Amino acid sequence: MSCIDPTINAISNAGSGKTKQSFAVNLLTGWNAGAFIAIGATLATISAIKVSAAWSNFIFAAVFPIGLIGIIFMGGADLFTGDCMITPLACYTRKSKMNEVFRNWFLALGGNLIGSICWAWIVAFSLIYGGSITAGAATKAIAVANGKVALVGQDFIGGFSVMVFKGIICNLLVNFAIYQATKSNENLMAKVFNIWFPIMAFVMVGSEHLIANMFFIPVGIFSGAPITWTQTFISNFLPVLLGNMIGGYVFMGLNYWFTTGSHDVNDPEGTVHSDAKRIGRAIKMLVPLIIGFVILALAYIIVPAGISMIMEIGITPTDGYARIDLMQPANLMLGNVMTTVIIPVVIIVYTILISIVLRIVFRKAVKLRK
């Protein structure tokens, strides 16, 4: 009989399954999760403008959790921020190898980004945010997007650190929700409540969720926000990635594995690890976090930011960020082709290609080690 804590065991089993997915399945489940979170974000944006200003933020936060509830209940969705806890737990308990965790991270994050951008296009082209830049939901989308890049834009060092800590708060709460949902077993209503309130809390307190931002900022750009894709990647995605990884990996995954005994599948029943051994194991597990962040940051944020910067040369907010409006014959498709179509398409194609490359590289690296 395993001496692994039942909840840790259940989460690590789920994590092990995620690390064994094929390339296409993992990328698609990542897409699904990005779309689910974007659906919650869409509902939150529209709901917030239907009530008075005094209730706007509360309603925005209260309806947003439908995205994670959909991910947990529907299955077939792989959320990177949840994977910051789930798949490493499979590694801590020795049900998966770290290279498998990395491959899962690459495809989950890549799929989340693609799914989020695609849903942002769907929302923009559907005009459900309104037919003009001054429409209520479009104005809200622009304000949200501006707020998410402004802090780092005003003070890079200070703003960057603040965004990292906001990311930590957020993903601690996201994985708190996942942990509680797992403990709820088959009690569906308990799962709903245990997901709902931590997710509502992270939105209400103003913390930062990378995958949600992968929808909020692009849909803001498509709605007319004077934001570049370069700003999006560097001023928001980069610090939030770091914060989310720390929040999920360290504050939830390592924390609860440590406090429940630091056990793995090789430990016989009744095994008790000393504090010194637990601490040593935990410190050793910090190395993959650092390696994973460096690879993810370079491949999925720094390089796309560089590509975007090159493609954005000559585009300025005064002439390049018109509201997408299908109702105007003169703007049959969109306001600025480069900003709303070409750059996102290039980012998506690049994301798929780099995901393939990284998966191959890590597979070959493991074979060479053997």
- Alpha-carbon distance of 109 to 95, in angstroms, equals 22
| Mean pLDDT of the chain, nearest integer | 90
Q: What is the pLDDT of residue 367?
A: 54
Which run of H or E residues covers position 53? helix 53-63
Q: What is the pLDDT of residue 331?
A: 45
- Most confident range (mean pLDDT) of 181-195, 216-230, 239-253, 267-281 is 239-253
Q: What is the pLDDT of residue 332?
A: 41
Q: What is the pLDDT of residue 315?
A: 67
Residue whose token pair is 């989340």: 112
In this prediction, residues 141-156 reach a mean pLDDT of 92
pLDDT one-digit tens code per residue, 58-107: 999 999 999 999 999 988 999 999 999 999 999 999 999 999 999 999 99
Q: What is the pLDDT of residue 167?
A: 98
Residue 318 exposed, middle or buried by CB count within 10 Å (0-12, 13-18, 19+): exposed
**79 closest CA partner among 145, 21, 34, 23:** 34
- Alpha-carbon distance of 55 to 45, in angstroms, equals 13
Supply the DSSP symbol for 212.
Answer: H
* Structure confidence at residue 34 as a pLDDT band (50, 70, 90): very high
Quick one: tokens of 338? 């480069």
More confident residue, 1 or 242: 242
Residue type, 240: V
C-beta atoms surrounding 271 within 10 Å: 13
Residue whose token pair is 């914060």: 243
C-beta atoms surrounding 314 within 10 Å: 8
**pLDDT > 50? residue 1:** yes
**pLDDT > 80? residue 228:** yes
Q: What is the pLDDT of residue 326?
A: 52
Complete domains list, the chain, with CATH? 6-369 (1.20.1080.10)
Q: What is the pLDDT of residue 370?
A: 46
In this prediction, residues 161-168 reach a mean pLDDT of 98
More confident residue, 10 or 226: 10
Cβ–Cβ < 8 Å for 300, 351: yes
Q: What is the pLDDT of residue 360?
A: 87
* Structure confidence at residue 330 as a pLDDT band (50, 70, 90): very low
Supply the DSSP symbol for 254.
Answer: I
How many helices and strands in the chain, by DSSP H and E? 19, 0
Q: What is the pTM of this model?
A: 0.93
Residue 171 exposed, middle or buried by CB count within 10 Å (0-12, 13-18, 19+): buried
pLDDT one-digit tens code per residue, 348-363: 999 999 999 998 888 7
Residue 275: alpha-carbon gap to chain centroid:
33
- Alpha-carbon distance of 339 to 198, in angstroms, equals 35
**pLDDT > 70? residue 325:** no
Neighbouring C-alpha atoms within 13 Å toward the C-beta of 205:
19
In this prediction, residues 118-145 reach a mean pLDDT of 87
Residue type, 243: G
Residue-wise DSSP of 286-355: HHHHHHHHHHHHIIIIIHHHHHHHHHTTT--HHHH-PPP-TTSGGGSS-S-HIIIIIHHHHHHHHHHHHH
Q: What is the pLDDT of residue 234?
A: 97
Quick one: tokens of 157? 């060092």
Which run of H or E residues covers position 247? helix 238-248
Residue 127 exposed, middle or buried by CB count within 10 Å (0-12, 13-18, 19+): middle
Which positions ≥6 away from 145 have C-beta within 8 Å? 216, 217, 219, 220, 221, 223, 225, 227
Q: What is the pLDDT of residue 269?
A: 84
